[in-house]
Amino acid sequence: MSSFRDEQAFWKTPNPPFQKNILFFDFPILLGMLLLAGCGYHVMTLSGVTQTPETVKLGLPRTVTLAVRTFHNNTTFPLVETEVTQVLKDTLQKTSGVILVNDPKRADVVLTGSVVGINEIPFALSSVVGIEEYQVEVILAAKLVAFNGQVLWTGGSVMGTAPMYMSENLALLQQTQQYALNTASHNATVRLIQQMAHGIASMSYIPIQNATIGGQAPPPGAVPSAPGALPGQPQPSPMPGALP
């Protein structure tokens, strides 16, 4: 009987010895959990450190259809425009708010451009073998045009680079040069899309669903009026100085 009373008295003690130990042991863990929860801790994924973003948001007001014309090649390097155009399409397929189409006539916006130049600049020298490494530069220029002819964005001198290492083996050197050219083209294309996304984030246009192809005015009532306006009431032109 006395043993039972002693046990009851022990649990009624304000701070039993082992309870203090438990609280002292759990407090750092609890504090760490609160700190992690408060600072927005998250597990980092590889998509956060890769050069190609997993998803690019162009910032257009709604989902649009986009066509990419094959870029012009203004250099003496063959087929580089094919590599650039294909990388553009592959990246835009992972872009939120964009539906890629093949026919420019059925697209809300069309992306056109050219490979302006390709440079091979000496980057590393050696007193024994001379130039050991080149830096390959691919320079692009492009513009994004809406179906009605409105230029939404223009970008020039968008550059991508990649290293090219020299070799006395001619076959290996050609392979290395092609690899560096493809890598620089890919880097320039990714940078082009990033600049385009930043450049048109604050611009808008009438999507193709609410207007006819070729820039003709839509029929009355086809374009929704601004909030508070009467149906079919003419709206101010979105471009300063343009005709309504």
pLDDT tens per residue, range 130-184: 788 999 999 999 999 988 888 989 998 899 999 999 888 888 888 999 999 999 9
Among 27-36, 38-47, 102-111, the range with the most confident prediction by mean pLDDT is 102-111
pLDDT tens per residue, range 207-226: 444 444 444 444 444 444 44
Among 43-52, 172-181, 195-204, the range with the most confident prediction by mean pLDDT is 172-181
Give the model's pLDDT for residue 228: 47
The three-state (H, E, C) secondary structure of the chain, written as one string: CHHHHHHHHHHCCCCCHHHHHHHHHHHHHHHHHHHHHHCCCCCCCHHHCCCCCCCEECCCCCCEEEEECCCEECCCCCCHHHHHHHHHHHHHCCEECEEECCCHHHCCEEEEEEEEEEEEEEEEEECCCEEEEEEEEEEEEEEEEECCCCEEEEEEEEEEEEEEECCCCHHHHHHHHHHHHHHHHHHHHHHHHHHHHHHCCCCCCCCHHHCCCCCCCCCCCCCCCCCCCCCCCCCCCCCCCCCC
**Domains identified in the chain and CATH numbers:** 2-38 (no CATH), 55-208 (3.30.160.150)
Task: Name the pLDDT band for 73 (thresholds 50, 70, 90).
Answer: very high
Does 96 score more than 50 pLDDT?
Answer: yes
